[in-house]
Amino acid sequence: MESMGCANPSTLSIKDLPWQIHWSKDKCTLCGNCTSVCPVRAIELGVHRKRVLHVPIGLEEKATNLFSVYHGIVQRTDIAHACVGCGMCTLVCPNGAIIPVRGDEIDKLRFHVNQAGEPRRRGGRRNSADSVLDRIKFVRIS
C-alpha cells in the first residue's frame, strides 16, 4: 500500500482553517449541489474509508481493525482552496446537511499564506510593508 502524502510542519489540518465545514452524514443525499456551487472548491465528494478498532473485553484476544467504506463530503486543506464562509453550500443543500462554521484559530492560515511554506528569513523579516520588523530601520552607530 502506497502512502497518500506526507505530513510536515507546514501541513494544515481542518482545525487550522478559518472556516470548518460541518457535514451531517445522516441528512446528506449525496446530490453534489454543494460541491458544484462552492466558489473556491473547498469541498469534494468522494469515497472514504473509516477504521474502527475492535478491542475485546479482558484482552483475551488480539485487537482487530474493522474497515467500512462510505461516500461523503471532505473539506480540502490546501491554502488555495480554503473555505471563505460564503454559505453557498448551505443555501443549495435541499436537506440542510452542510454548514460552514467559523473556526477559533484564524492566525495559522494567515501565517501559512504569508510564509508560503518557507521559513522566516534571518532576523524575522519577510520583505513586506505591513510587517513590524520590516518597518524598523536600523542605522549604524559609529
4 within some domain: no
2 within some domain: no
Q: How confident is the model at residue 5 (pLDDT cuts 50, 70, 90)?
A: low
DSSP structure class, residue 95: S
- Report the number of distinct structural domains present in the chain: 1
Q: What is the mean pLDDT of residues 53-82?
A: 85
Residue 131 to residue 127: CA distance in whole angstroms: 8
Structure confidence by residue, pLDDT tens digits, 75-87:
888 878 888 889 9
Residue 34 belongs to domain with CATH number: 3.30.70
Q: How confident is the model at residue 10 (pLDDT cuts 50, 70, 90)?
A: low
Structure confidence by residue, pLDDT tens digits, 103-126:
876 556 666 555 554 544 555 556
Could you tell me the residue range of the domain that residue 20 belongs to?
14-135
> How many other C-beta atoms can be found within 10 angstroms of the C-beta atom of residue 42?
25
Q: Which residues pair with 100 in a beta bridge?
A: 21
